Structure 1
Amino acid sequence: MSLTQGAPQEVLGTGAPPGTGPAESRTGGGRGRRRPTPSHRRTSRSMFLFVLPFLVLAFVFSYLPLLGWVTALYDYKPALGLGGSDFVGLQWFEMLFSSQTQLRQTGQVMANTLAMSFLGFATSLLPVFFAILLNEIRATWFRNAVQTLTTLPNFISWVLVYMIAFSLFSTSGLVNTTLHDWGLITVPMRFLDTDQHVWLTMLAWSLWKGLGWGAILYLAAIVGIDPALYESARIDGANRFQLMRYITFPQLMPTYVVLLILSIANILNNGMEQYYVFQNAFNKEHIQVLDLYVYNVGITGNSISLGTALSMLKSVISVALLMAANVIAKRIRGTSII
């Protein structure tokens, strides 16, 4: 009788059930895990050493400064130091909610912050459309030139941006001088030192500075779209606009949704550089976002403890928004962000 006949069969010398090879038998039916080889361990250590400098930078600049939160519990005086300052407990936090003047000012600051954030959300599709249209340019040299010219403003500091704005739109700038020479105006138009349309003005400068940079990620996502989708659509008679509408745009939506959900956690983080250089006595009420308000209270107003308390509340709210965004992402995409 052949050794392969009969039931039940076993692999000779292993005592394993049919269909189980020696390698699977040694690892418990494929459920075990192989021990990492020395070469794998060396590769893991090398990769960790590459990441280590960035972990150190994240710790130094993101986590180590959290030790300064303790100043929110003191009436901190820089000249006296923490040891010479009076401990006041939660006095600064109580002041944020007990003073009507403080509540009114904080409410205006939050209105400015949320308005700028929601305007950013409303225009967040512009980089998507710009990337799609840029991808449709057939002349490579022209596409590269447009992408370069629209990306360069991202690397210009806001101080230089304000210098450009002042040269163009101040009362003695190029625009007013040209309009006056052409006889179109007799009194200079006030573009910068006014409180009208401040939010839209700041949005326009942000779009000019960041549109090209924001489109880079979507251009990379377009490269990853399966070319077979376009070929099949062309065979069915789709034109270029239909390809953009029914293939490119839907394929970019997962990337857009992830970035939009992640930006919810930064809804209170507008930055301060742009608003700091553009602020003046005329528009301060409407241009002062939360980050700039914290700076003005802590540094300009010489109340570091109150500024720290405001910053702590902003961080707590941002973490709560991040957790909420994580839940939303899990329900929409089936997987969580963190």
Structure 2
Amino acid sequence: MKKVEKKRKITLKNTWPLHLMLLPGVLVLFTYTILPFFGNIMAFENFQPVLGFFKSKWVGLDNFRYMFMLPDTFKIFRNTLVIAVGKIVFNLVMSVFFAVLLYEMSGKRFKKTVQTICFLPHFLSWVILAMIFRDILDGSGIINMALMKLGIIDEAIVFLGNNKLFQGIIVGTDVWKEFGYGAIIFIAALAGINQELYEAASIDGASRLQKIWNITLPGIKVTVVLVATLNIANVLNAGFDQIYNLYSPIVYDTGDIIDTYVYRMSFESAQYSLATAIGLMKSVVSFLLIVTSNYLARKFANYRIF
């Protein structure tokens, strides 16, 4: 009989090199995530930088009551939801649409070229892209010039200064930037579809559109549901960097979101306690949405993190 090997006891003495490897990551996490968390105490104080956290006057939930009394509160939450939901829905639809089109293309080299071109904008900063879009959408930009040449408009449209157009521009430019990157997971899911199904459909005389509708889309249905449910957690993340670089006071009515409002309250108006209260409220709601999205993903797509 073979000797049964003794199970090695796991102790800090024989695993310290692994803990040492984790130490830099833990320090970064603690410095930039855990430590700033204690700053949320400002939401319950009338915070004065001169007095600091411990000497500022404690006001309890007064900042939250004041937050809900402000007319801007409903507006920023509404704008955040409209823009974030628009981004989630249209990014998902365009990503699936692009993945299916790419899957149906013939010619590997051409497919790779198209995918790479559509994939690249994801890596460009909104600081750079905002400058490009400002030039394109300017009164003397290429779009206005083209529309006037074609006789569609008589005078230039101020795209980034129009409250009716601003949200659509924000959603549209974000979709343009992200749909190529978002399609990667669907391209991977499409690669896992059994090719025999297509062969059987061809024998039965199915057209290409019928194959897409009855084989391709059902084949990635679980992945689409999973991505959609996990995206619920991002409902309150409308994209600070994009909006901050594109908006102006003229479009605050439709372009101001929670993150930009908190930024202005903190660094322009010095209302640190109110800004922290709004940010904390967003964090609590976001946490509930993350829990909900994980529950839905586990229920409908059999996906779990833990």
- Give the TM-score band, short-chain normalised: 0.7 to 0.9
2:52 maps to 81
Q: Taking CA–CA contacts closer than 8 Å with sequence separation of 6 or more, which of the two structures ends up with the larger relative contact order?
A: 2
1:61 maps to 32
Q: Is the aligned partner of 1:115 residue 2:77?
A: no
Instruction: Please give the alpha-carbon distance, in whole angstroms, between the structure 1 residues aligned to 2:199 and 2:300.
Output: 30
Instruction: Please give the alpha-carbon distance, in whole angstroms, between the structure 1 residues aligned to 2:204 and 2:133.
Output: 50
2:67 maps to 96
Partner of 2:250, secondary structure, is coil
Equivalences for 1:251-290 in 2 at 5 Å?
Answer: 251-290=219-258
Q: Provide structure 1 residue ranges, at least 5 long, that are not aligned to the other structure.
A: 1-21, 28-32
Instruction: Please give the alpha-carbon distance, in whole angstroms, between the structure 2 residues aligned to 1:244 and 1:50.
Output: 48
Equivalences for 1:1-338 in 2 at 5 Å?
Answer: 35=7, 57-97=28-68, 99=69, 102=70, 104-123=71-90, 124-180=92-148, 185-333=153-301, 336-338=304-306
Instruction: Please give the alpha-carbon distance, in whole angstroms, between the structure 1 residues aligned to 2:195 and 2:21.
Output: 35
Alignment check: 8 A CA contact 2:134 2:246 kept: no
Q: For residues 247-286 of structure 1, give each alpha carbon's deviation from its aligned partner in whole angstroms, at most 9, with x where no partner exists.
A: 2211211111111111112211222111111211221110
1:16 maps to none
Alignment check: 8 A CA contact 2:226 2:303 kept: no
Deviation of 1:308 after TM superposition, in Å, equals 0.9
Deviation of 1:179 after TM superposition, in Å, equals 4.7
Instruction: Please give the alpha-carbon distance, in whole angstroms, between the structure 2 residues aligned to 1:303 and 1:70.
Output: 14
Over alpha carbons, which structure has the higher Rg?
Answer: 1
Deviation of 1:299 after TM superposition, in Å, equals 1.9
Scaled by the length of structure 2, the TM-score of the pair is 0.85
Partner of 2:112, secondary structure, is helix
Instruction: Please give the alpha-carbon distance, in whole angstroms, between the structure 2 residues aligned to 1:146 and 1:326.
Output: 33
Deviating more after overlay: 300-309 vs 75-84: 75-84
Alignment check: 8 A CA contact 1:170 1:190 kept: yes
Instruction: Please give the alpha-carbon distance, in whole angstroms, between the structure 1 residues aligned to 2:262 and 2:243.
Output: 12
Q: For residues 216-267 of structure 1, give each alpha carbon's deviation from its aligned partner in whole angstroms, at most 9, with x where no partner exists.
A: 1111222233334334434444443333222221121111111111111221
The one-letter code matched in structure 1 to 2:195 is P
Alignment check: 8 A CA contact 1:271 1:292 kept: no
Partner of 2:234, secondary structure, is coil
The one-letter code matched in structure 2 to 1:133 is L
Q: How many residues align?
A: 303
Partner of 1:269, secondary structure, is coil
RMSD: 3.1
Instruction: Please give the alpha-carbon distance, in whole angstroms, between the structure 2 residues aligned to 1:309 and 1:159.
Output: 28
Partner of 2:48, secondary structure, is coil
Instruction: Please give the alpha-carbon distance, in whole angstroms, between the structure 2 residues aligned to 1:272 and 1:304.
Output: 18
Alignment check: 8 A CA contact 1:168 1:175 kept: yes
Alignment check: 8 A CA contact 2:233 2:293 kept: yes
Instruction: Please give the alpha-carbon distance, in whole angstroms, between the structure 1 residues aligned to 2:206 and 2:8.
Output: 51
Instruction: Please give the alpha-carbon distance, in whole angstroms, between the structure 1 residues aligned to 2:303 and 2:184.
Output: 25
Alignment check: 8 A CA contact 2:139 2:156 kept: yes
Deviation of 1:121 after TM superposition, in Å, equals 3.9
Instruction: Please give the alpha-carbon distance, in whole angstroms, between the structure 2 residues aligned to 1:36 and 1:265.
Output: 41
CA distance 1:144–1:55, shift in 2 (3 Å): farther
Q: Provide structure 2 residue ranges, at least 5 long, that are not aligned to the other structure.
A: none
Scaled by the length of structure 1, the TM-score of the pair is 0.78
CA distance 1:56–1:187, shift in 2 (3 Å): same
CA distance 1:179–1:93, shift in 2 (3 Å): closer
The one-letter code matched in structure 1 to 2:89 is A
